[in-house]
Amino acid sequence: MIEGLSHITLIVRDLQQTSHFLKHVFGAEEVYSSGDKTFSISREKFFLINQLWIAIMEGDSLLERSYNHIAFKISVTDFDAYIDRVRALGIDMQKGRSRFAEEGQSIYFYDYDNHLFELHTGTLEQRLAFYRCSA
């Protein structure tokens, strides 16, 4: 039986640059750095984002961008502050897909290695309730 999400691992070109990105945008707490040691396939760092374990490992960036993404829940009252955080890093923000207000608001942006992230104000329950009422 699945107990929950264990961790998310992202392959990144520059561990330091991505560490700064995770700390600045998401308020990530760095809890481990392998330094020059290699216990897995490459040097790595571990972070916690609200108790979610995010691992970054050194390697080649993704060659192409896609809509595959990781979405984090944020409060609607924090929406503008997160836009400011992303813009402060010069990160490539994307125009969100068209949506109804009942689905919540989203900020989409790519990191330095072509991983797409979303900061979203809605919940699954809100989305399903809206879809049921709109059917």
Query: Which active-site residues does the annotation give?
Result: 44
Residue 12: name the closest of 80, 111, 118 by CA: 111
Phi/psi at 50 (5° precision): 50, 50
Residues 6 or more apart in contact with residue 25 via CB below 8 angstroms: 82, 85, 86, 89, 91, 117
Tell me how crowded residue 12 is: count the other CB atoms within 10 A of its CB: 26
- Reading the block at residue 55, the tokens are 């691992």
